[in-house]
Structure 1
């Protein structure tokens, strides 16, 4: 089966299952309680903006309208928080956990620091996102839709780590023949944006919520120049323009226009496989293992109600972008898309990480 067909079938299956009936109403009441939504990143990144967007809407939709507080547990590119969550056994529904591609990729790559198992958790919501790579004003003036004039520039990039979601931009820049030196160890993509703002980094990328919430202002001020998005998937599994940023070219378009960059073959297939795992279903919300089904159902119904709000589309496009939100059975199907890549793609990436960054994954 080709990657495009895998991508198409997985995402289409997730969308189709969204039509499942609502779970039966249950006698669940969160009146007077506080829900802690833990995010394993810093408070400056896209995951923080994603959770802070949904938190008040979820509060209104859950029975009893509990207070939903977003808390942050950054460290080790999100594996610290995920390992912590693996050990939680809350059964009263007052703990929610959010992950992103930077949590999924170490799991996919069998990173030895991973001590968590996605299949133990209860997904109640998932959403897609996009990403935008951008340049400083000086280097942005050289960008003509290809990377040809950028291949002799030495770039600095603030990175959470090569096995995190940063894998997607790092591999893309390599394919474009660009010299991008990552400074590893930041706690969230928002910290990478701060490095860019201070002039400590000369290239950056943010997921959609982080870009809309911070980087777009840099573009408006003339301090940053958009280079490309990662794109989105159409019904046939092809990479097309991101619906939130239809005026910005995709990596595929820039690659096609750049000497030496190829949108076919093993390198492209590996990049696309991890793009599919990391962006069409990029952020997920989970209840811990052992959570009773009636509480899982209450959250599912609440997120369904959030998405069904008359004003949801208008609210979300400004804060988190124009992307599919998966709930209920579709959230489970979306989890499968986010936590699976072909063995050939994994093998290529593992070898690349070892050769370029000295990262050995066993």
Structure 2
């Protein structure tokens, strides 16, 4: 209650100062959000979220009043929760700190992870975008293409993970659905660390989100050093999974399942996988500010995002850097985010049971 009262007071002070100086808010005047913005990314440098933020940051700076410097601040740890906790504790309603979230921030929140000290209800979503990802294996496993996936049934597979309540829950559920036996090595602070482990030969199966795939992996796929197996796909208008337009030649998990078993997936295991695929990837990347940020500051941010969407450099560079996915802002972003943050209670309960049985993890209901 004290925290809320203090936040409201700070918000009122900021709002009054903005209104008092609104007539002077031209580009030649000092920016109402200052000359430096901290963009918290709760993962290590080099991964998909970091790549995504580094692509967007200079474009945002171009369209924010006063062209402030947008600093990417990597706060990895806690399976994606540490950086979000830092933002929740430190961000003021002054527009000078934003947070970039991903499924690894969403999932612990949805599952009741004890490390979560943040609440999405305390944040306003400025922008959100779906993304995709690709599962791949080391060429040393003897596969030439995804069609050889049956060979993995008698292989020892090792996966570097941020933790089972992070976005890594999606591959965990997918591998389980496909009948692959995988050993999970926990303690990694981001997907880029998992990629490093893959390159160094410590693990032999991995996935990366689209931005990281495009930045780091295409040469290895082309040379055959790494073999792509499948993409997560994208959610179609009918709620069914379709091939990812960024990786149109790669099958979805559903297609790989049908290749293995001769029929499309169905039943409880598929329902669980599909629900968390939607929660993790349909609104995978979000940019948020504190919900008590004054409306004039929120408008400044939304106007900057709107200008970014019209920027020719964004349209030219985004497909190669981030993939072929829409970027939503304002009310559309908020609506998509809220839908992605809803999980059926029965599915949540079943995931709790799986995590307790397979990893001895007890989560609050």
TM-score normalised over the length of structure 1: 0.89
Say yes or no: does 1:229 pair with 2:223.
Answer: no
**Is the Cα contact below 8 Å between 1:129 and 1:279 reproduced in 2?**
yes
- 1:32 shift after superposition: 6.0
Equivalent residue in structure 2 for 1:59, among 58, 61, 71: 61
Mapped partners of 2:148, 2:257: distance in 1: 7
Aligned to 1:337: 339
Q: Take 1:355 and 1:142, find their aligned partners in 2: how far apart are those partners?
A: 34
RMSD (CA atoms): 1.7
Give the Cα separation in 2 of the matches to 1:215 and 1:164.
22
Residues 250/140 of structure 1: CA separation in 2 closer, same or farther (3 Å cut):
farther
Aligned residues: 337
**Pairing partner for 2:209 from 193, 207, 210:** 207
- Which has the bigger relative contact order, CA under 8 A and spacing at least 6? 1
Q: Is contact 1:146-1:254 (8 Å) kept? A: no
- Aligned residue for 1:87, secondary structure, equals helix
Indicate if the aligned counterparts of 1:306 and 1:312 stay in contact, CA closer than 8 A: yes
Assess if the C-alpha contact under 8 Å between 1:157 and 1:181 holds in 2. Answer: yes
Alignment of 1:1-362 (within 5 A): 29-30=31-32, 33-139=35-141, 141=143, 143-145=145-147, 147-259=149-261, 263-362=265-364
After TM superposition, the structure 1 stretch with the greater mean CA deviation from structure 2, 148-157 or 95-104, is 148-157
Take 2:353 and 2:103, find their aligned partners in 1: how far apart are those partners? 20
Give unpaired runs (5+ residues) of structure 2.
Answer: 1-21, 26-30
Q: Which moved more, 1:203-212 or 1:284-293?
A: 284-293
Against the structure 1 CA distance between its residues 345 and 140, is the aligned structure 2 distance closer, same or farther, given a 3 Å change threshold? Answer: farther
State the Cα deviation string for residues 101-158 of structure 1 (Å, max 9, x = none): 0000001111111111001012111111001000111225265526322111111111
Deviation string 1:244-286 (CA, Å, 9 cap, x unpaired) is 0001111110011113986111111110110001102101111
Once the two structures are TM-superposed, the CA of residue 212 in structure 1 deviates from its matched residue by 0.9
Output the CA distance in 1 between the equivalents of 2:296 and 2:82.
29
CA contact (8 A) 1:88 1:288 kept: no
Instruction: Report SS of the residue matched to 1:193.
Output: helix
Relative to 1, partners in 2 of residues 1:275 and 1:75: Cα closer, same or farther, differing over 3 Å? same
1:335 is paired with a residue whose SS is helix
Residues 158 and 184, structure 1, Cα contact 8 Å, conserved in 2? yes
Q: Structure 1 residues 56 and 144 mapped into 2: Cα distance closer, same or farther (>3 Å)?
A: closer
User: Closer, same or farther in 2 for the Cα pair 1:186/1:114, shift >3 Å?
Assistant: same
Other structure's SS at 2:261 match: coil
TM-score (ref. length: structure 2): 0.88
State the 1:92 CA deviation: 2.2
Higher Cα radius of gyration: 2
| In 2: Cα distance, 1:249 partner to 1:91 partner | 44
- Matched residues in 2 for 1:143 and 1:180: separation? 19
Distance 2:34 2:348 in 1: 46
Q: Secondary structure at the match of 1:151?
A: helix
Gaps spanning 5+ residues in structure 1: where?
A: 1-25
Question: Which of the pair is proportionally richer in helix?
Answer: 2
